[in-house]
Amino acid sequence: MESMTNPSMETADKLHVVMFPWLAFGHMIPFLELSKVIAQKGHTVSFICTPRNIDRLPKLPPNLAPLINLVKLQLPKVDKLPDNAESTIDLPYDEVKYLKMAYDQLQQPMTQILADLAPDWVIYDLAPYWLGPIATKLGISSVFFSVTIAASVCFISPVQILKGLSGEDDRNTPEDFTVPPKWIPFKSNIAFWLFEIKRVFEDASTANDENVPVTYRFGAGIEACNVLAVRSSYELEPEWLKLLEEIHQKPIIPVGQLPTMGYDSCDNDEAWIEMKEWLDKQPQRSVVYVVFGSEAQPSQAELTEIALGLELSELPFFWVLRIRRVMPDSEVIQLPRDEG
């Protein structure tokens, strides 16, 4: 965070930064890790999230805990949202829209919190597209933090297209997204596989009209911020970070991959001991790590294909597999049986 170009970030002895992530663990954990990085520099962080999610976060390292204040913000009740559902992990995919509806009702409470705390900066996620203008009105500098790499942010398009305010995007069919868009000026093979983008189109066609589209949220969030931060580095994708700055005309800060700063000791966990012993025996950079995060779950057919593909690769792999997305009605997926 020291690289931010705002003079107050460079001269102040101690800053107060508010963090406000979307309610998915694939977002909350990177936001928490970024909070730790900021706290390591001696700044104070207010990490704002719902009570149940805060209770489920990893414990903070003792040396950083005094600088990171975990603020519990109650999620409003909305129709069809179960009482204890505070994260995407608590819901079937088609019910996440109700979580977004409840989340959007946090505008007034967040306005009051920011007014009361009067932080130097607020760092927000893609879902609260409404927070940037609130921060501006309160005189608070803001950062839009993308938990994905710069290439993916470049691919999804400029702000005006994301917000549906421009006719420049001629991508109308799934096939159009299987090649790089026209605003990428260099050779690249980054694009969707057809089966991936078909699913995106199917999800969009069944979306509830009451929800603000995720593309609009992303575009409005970027448009309103002072600085755009991405979970990336110049060593990983220098050309994409440069393009991202050209597209959005905002300062870009790559914050790194933000690996988890572990605190909870696993030394007495027998399962972890066994896994660690196996990992220690593998050659460096030889193990394939497979994980789909807290929101995505492959179908049984997809899981079987992935498992067979990993087997055919003959590479050692470490797979974090969630066999059930949410209780009690989700499909339970299972690894294919070894017929050998």
Of the candidates 21, 9, 2, the one whose C-alpha atom is nearest the C-alpha of residue 144 is 21
Of the candidates 190, 212, 192, 210, the one whose C-alpha atom is nearest the C-alpha of residue 201 is 192
**181 plus 308 within the same structural domain:** no
Supply the pLDDT for residue 340.
Answer: 52
**182 plus 235 within the same structural domain:** yes
**208 plus 310 within the same structural domain:** no
**281 plus 247 within the same structural domain:** no
Q: Which domain holds residue 188?
A: 7-254
pTM value is 0.87
**11 plus 147 within the same structural domain:** yes
Supply the pLDDT for residue 4.
Answer: 42
Whether 263 is covered by a domain: the verdict is no
**88 plus 235 within the same structural domain:** yes
248 as an active site residue: the answer is: no
**312 plus 184 within the same structural domain:** no
Whether 176 is covered by a domain: the verdict is yes
Q: Which residues of the chain have pLDDT under 70?
A: 1-12, 166-168, 203-210, 262-268, 294-295, 324-331, 338-340
Give the residue from 223, 254, 285 where a domain finishes.
254
**330 plus 210 within the same structural domain:** no
**290 plus 250 within the same structural domain:** no
Whether 260 is covered by a domain: the verdict is no
Exactly one of 43, 120, 125, 248 is catalytic; which is it?
Answer: 125
Looking at the structure of the chain, the number of domains it has is: 2
**12 plus 82 within the same structural domain:** yes
Supply the pLDDT for residue 104.
Answer: 97
Supply the pLDDT for residue 5.
Answer: 39
Whether 1 is covered by a domain: the verdict is no
169 as an active site residue: the answer is: no
**241 plus 95 within the same structural domain:** yes
- DSSP type of residue 165: -
**231 plus 330 within the same structural domain:** no
- Three-state SS annotation for the chain: CCCCCCHHHHHCCCCEEEEECCCCHHHHHHHHHHHHHHHHCCCEEEEEECHHHHHHCCCCCCCCHHHEEEEECCCCCCCCCCCCCCCHHHCCHHHHHHHHHHHHCCHHHHHHHHHHHCCCEEEECCCCCCHHHHHHHCCCEEEEEECCCHHHHHHHCCHHHHCCCCCCCCCCCHHHHHCCCCCCCCCCCCCCCHHHHHHHHHHHHCCCCCCCCHHHHHHHHHHHCCEEEECCCCCCCHHHHHHHHHHHCCCEEECCCCCCCCCCCCCCCHHHHHHHHHHHCCCCCCCEEEECCCCCCCCHHHHHHHHHHHHHHCCCEEEECCCCCCCCCCCCCCCCCCCC
Structure tokens belonging to residue 117? 């705390």
Supply the pLDDT for residue 330.
Answer: 60
CB of 85 closer than 8 Å to CB of 53: no
Exactly one of 27, 43, 90, 104 is catalytic; which is it?
Answer: 27
Supply the pLDDT for residue 6.
Answer: 45
Q: Residue 327 belongs to a domain with what CATH number?
A: 3.40.50.2000
